[in-house]
Amino acid sequence: MAMSKNDIIKTIETGKAILGIEFGSTRIKAVLIGADNAPIAQGSHDWENRLENGIWTYSLEDIWTGLQDSYSNMVKDVKEQYGVPVKKLAAIGFSAMMHGYLAFDKAGELLVPFRTWRNTITEEASEKLSELFDFHIPQRWSIAHLYQAILNGEDHVKNIDFQTTLAGYVHWKLTGSKVLGVGEASGMFPIDSETGDYDADMIAKFENLVADKNFDWKLSEILPKVLTAGEEAGILTEDGAKLLDVSGTLEAGIPLCPPEGDAGTGMVATNSVAKRTGNVSAGTSVFAMVVLEKALSKAYDAIDLVTTPTGHAVAMVHCNNCTSDLNAWVNIFKEFAESFGIDVDMNKLFGTLYNKALEGDADCGGLLAYNYFSGEHITGFEEGRPLFVRTTDSNFNLANFMRVHLFTALGALKTGCDILLKQEKVKVDNITGHGGLFKTKGVGQSILAAAMNAPVSVMETAGEGGAWGIALLASYMVNKGSKTLDEFLNDDVFGGETGTKMEPVAADVEGFDKFIERYTAGLPIERAAVDSLK
């Protein structure tokens, strides 16, 4: 039962609405939710990272003007829909893109411009730490950025008093609390799921490693405190309220939940926080996250280990390329149609071509494609060249052509997920798909089910994204009672709604496996293209 307009007005006026704000890489989004945890208003602000002196960054000014604009747009939406101001809230939560490097001195001043997760400037640190910890430390992780700065002999390092992430920074400035949710913290430094805190052995190894530098700080002193979903993480201060709402209408004293990363909020928004569940986000890039029952047998370069907002271990396979090449081919068909004077509805074109793929041979009729617009670390490419290849006796028709481009959109992902599902025998009961690849009903979904050999669900709400996810975590903090996070999501948010579910079809699973053999065998063709086509 959706709330009536009068109920919503009452919720806002009595200060019972809950706010979630997420800093994505291109948009800052604010979502206000009501007593039933459904969105009632939203606002957003578009922003772009800049490449300055070889570093991908956003300025602190970008962060605050963006936050204030998305908040005031949400308030405007409330005013237009319900005619009331926003004075008080039951809870607030912040989330943001994970990882990166924000280091501050004792006076709280930023020491060097924000280094975002996009920077691949920490290769040496990443390799050395992965070896030291026997745990895969990706280049984008905060600890890799810190150690690389030490290896580079950067002068600012000796002055560090506090290191955090974007979500942690915003939260700190609004509450005065130097904390992080465990999921976000797991992208700074490895977490021990038994203790729900940073891995103590690895902290000791790192402090040993840099002991000869005689810094005034220890790693354990400069990292934010780790909190679990449901814990209170601070209160909006008077200064914080003015920073968030420049009109001065919002009152201080509102409790905040632990700040989380976009991986954690994505798990919450797709109800994939329980063990043996997972989610796949497929758009320009693609990543899969699976909540583990037990630790993996060893470290893998293709797999990042993070946690859910409650501290359960999660295996993450992240690939740079997904739908860009597929979209480029759809645009070629659009141009073809327009050359005949046909007006093209893009939704219909995507729908028609995607559905055509379902008529193809299970293994794409021997066709091969690589969708590498950029490099792909899972298969060992530092840059990419989109390619389409066939033999003279391949079954070359439109259905197989579309099918191979859908298959290859998940090719690198399948390579990483096969380590999890086949080598490590990880069990997954259900995967939830979200993102552009799943817009055409049943197509991306059936192909992902074939790639993962697991049931795939798609929900109507999957488009709400991370800002809704962090609002739900704020709601959990104030409304949880004695429920675990997965019970709260099942009972109070999704109410048994599991979306549309598709089981894998045996012939398609076999077809995808055949395609992946061809894909792996053909990688030297992609290598030759990168080397020969400058």
* Interacting residues of 207 by C-beta distance below 8 A, sequence separation 6+: 218, 219, 220
Which of 377-386, 407-416, 489-498 shows the highest mean pLDDT?
407-416
Tokens 């290191």 belong to which residue? 163
Question: What percent of the chain stands above pLDDT 70?
Answer: 99
pLDDT tens digits for range 287-338: 899 999 988 999 998 999 999 999 999 999 989 899 999 999 999 999 999 9
- With beta carbons less than 8 A apart as the criterion, state whether 263 and 281 touch: no
Amino acid (1-letter code) at residue 473: L
Please give the CATH topology (third level) of the domain spanning 5-261.
Nucleotidyltransferase; domain 5 (3.30.420)
**Is the C-alpha dihedral spanning 148, 149, 152, 157 positive or negative?**
negative
Q: What is the pLDDT of residue 126?
A: 95
**pLDDT of 98 above 80:** yes
Which run of H or of E encompasses 448? helix 443-452
- In eight-state DSSP terms, residue 432 is E
Provide mean pLDDT across the span 50-69: 93
Between residues 468 and 377, which one has the greater pLDDT? 468
Q: Which of 191, 419, 391 is nearest to 310 (CA)?
A: 191
Tokens encoding 297: 């047998």
pLDDT tens digits for range 338-352: 999 999 999 999 999
**pTM of this structure:** 0.88
Q: What is the pLDDT of residue 499?
A: 82
pLDDT band at 463 (very low <50, low <70, confident <90, very high): low
Tokens encoding 67: 């936050």
Instruction: Say how far apart CA 106 and CA 160 lie, in whole Å.
Output: 7
**pLDDT of 101 above 70:** yes
Measured CA to CA in angstroms, residue 476 lies from 170, 172, 174 at distances of: 20, 21, 20
Provide mean pLDDT across the span 40-44: 95
pLDDT tens digits for range 162-172: 999 999 999 99
Chain-wide mean pLDDT for the chain? 94
Instruction: Say how far apart CA 261 and CA 166 lie, in whole Å.
Output: 9
Amino acid (1-letter code) at residue 280: V
Alpha helices in 312-457 (DSSP H): 324-339, 346-357, 398-409, 411-418, 443-452
Instruction: Say how far apart CA 432 and CA 232 lie, in whole Å.
Output: 29
Instruction: Say how far apart CA 522 and CA 516 lie, in whole Å.
Output: 10
* Interacting residues of 159 by C-beta distance below 8 A, sequence separation 6+: 105, 106, 111
Q: What is the pLDDT of residue 87?
A: 97
Q: What is the pLDDT of residue 1?
A: 64
Between residues 117 and 201, which one has the greater pLDDT? 201
- With beta carbons less than 8 A apart as the criterion, state whether 445 and 459 touch: no
Please give the CATH topology (third level) of the domain spanning 271-322+419-503.
Nucleotidyltransferase; domain 5 (3.30.420)
Cβ of 365: how many Cβ atoms within 10 Å? 19
Cβ of 156: how many Cβ atoms within 10 Å? 12
Provide mean pLDDT across the span 524-531: 97
pLDDT tens digits for range 148-200: 999 999 999 999 999 999 999 999 999 999 999 999 999 999 999 899 999 99
- With beta carbons less than 8 A apart as the criterion, state whether 232 and 257 touch: yes
pLDDT band at 497 (very low <50, low <70, confident <90, very high): confident
Between vectors from CA 269 to CA 268 and to CA 270, what angle results, nearest 5°? 90
Beta bridge partners of 212: none
Q: What is the pLDDT of residue 461?
A: 61
Q: What is the pLDDT of residue 525?
A: 98
CATH number of 351-413+507-532: 3.30.420.40
Tokens encoding 214: 């005689």
- In eight-state DSSP terms, residue 384 is -
Between residues 378 and 80, which one has the greater pLDDT? 80
Distance of CA 432 to the CA centre of its chain: 14
pLDDT tens digits for range 12-39: 999 999 999 999 888 999 999 999 999 9
- Start-end of CATH 3.30.420.40 domains in the chain: 5-261, 271-322+419-503, 351-413+507-532
Instruction: Say how far apart CA 215 and CA 481 lie, in whole Å.
Output: 44
- In angstroms, what is the C-alpha Rg of the chain? 24
